Amino acid sequence: MPAPFSTLPEFRATLAKASGPDAAALAGAQDRNGQLTKPPGALGRLEDLAIWYAGWRSNPRPTIAAPQVIIFAGNHGVCAQGVSAFPAEVTAQMVANFEHGGAAINQLSKAFGAKMDVHALALDTPTADFTRAPAMTEAEVISALQTGWNAVDPDADLLVTGEMGIGNTTSAAAIAMALFGGQAGDWTGRGTGVDDAGLTRKTDVVAKAVSLHRHDDGLEVLRCLGGRELAAMAGAIAAARAHRIPVILDGFICTAAAATLAVAQDGALDHTVAGHLSAEGAHHKLLDALDKEPLLKLGLRLGEGSGAALAIGVLQGAIACHSGMATFAEAGVSDA
């Protein structure tokens, strides 16, 4: 279904009316889990993941057959402040690499059987420099949210959203600080590898931006401090819930985008899990604020959805065990 909103109040209302997991499917999955040929709790967190997934798919014995990975790309006006080690034109160059199958996310998507789509959002028109003005107008942020929403395949049964955008760790740090407080240095890291002087400059930029744009509302924070690719990820994550598609969150930037939904509407991320803990220093603080425990910790800091895509395999393993194992009765094994 096309995006059912054309203003931020309408998008907020869409978030508010989203349904929760299927109680009957949750109960059925919990019951099945208790009958499988294993000691109680022997599969640890895989059991919880399988039950969580079953509830969102309305099926106590689900499968994962059609995962989707979507990469969104955008350019940031704040790059004029010297916050990145790479020039803005790298965004378009990497989009071409995605489209030709040459990036890490292409390989990981292929490895786990995921369909991968790429959406570049107005790369020739960067967002405004948010140290001087809001990054986006309402029309611009709505357009990006709609792009994300409409990019989700309703027939997918698992979603990963990733991003590409030079300067977007600065945007993510500003969003995190605006949403959860603290000092700019708590949230600002080296991103693509800025030197010490660059890190100091970047931290100052984050502090200045948050001081300029003070909002309690998550969606206004997204508009003023985000980028088109962050807004598109937020739109896709919201759409996935409407379609009852579970989501694996990627690293710091994806999690910052998702956090704007969580602040805008309680429970907006109940259909999501954190795929991994990024090496970007503040990611753990952001996950703690959202009460999300990562599935993997491998020192990744690439973005592109790469950590979340790798975590598809963990969820596939959880579902394979839950839905494929025999029960004690089926296997003729005595249940102590």
DSSP 8-class letter at 291: T
The residues with which 160 forms a beta bridge, in sequence order, are 69, 248
DSSP 217-249: SHHHHHHHH--HHHHHHHHHHHHHHHTT--EEE
How far from chain centre, in Å, is Cα 71?
Answer: 11
3-state secondary structure of 24: helix
DSSP annotation of 323: H
What b/e sequence results for 301-332 when a residue is b if at least 16 CB atoms lie within 10 Å of its CB, and e otherwise? Answer: bbbbbbbbbbbbebbbebbebbbebeeeeeee
Nearest to 30 by CA among 8, 5, 55: 55
Assess contact for 157 and 64: CB atoms under 8 A: yes
Residue 304 a catalytic site member:
yes
User: 161-194: b or e for each residue (b if 16 or more CB lie within 10 Å)?
Assistant: bbbbbbbbbbbbbbbbbbbbeeebbbbbbbbbeb
Determine the Cα–Cα distance for residues 219 and 81; give it in Å rounded to an integer. Answer: 24
State how far the Cα of 268 lies from the Cα of 318, in Å rounded to an integer. Answer: 23
DSSP string, 53-71: HHHHHT-SS-----EEEEE
CA dist., res. 19 & res. 268, Å (int): 10
Per DSSP (E only), the strands in 80-184 are 115-120, 158-164
Could you tell me the end-to-end alpha-carbon distance of the chain, in angstroms, rounded to an integer?
Answer: 49
Catalytic residue among 163, 229, 280, 304: 304
- Residues tagged active-site: 304
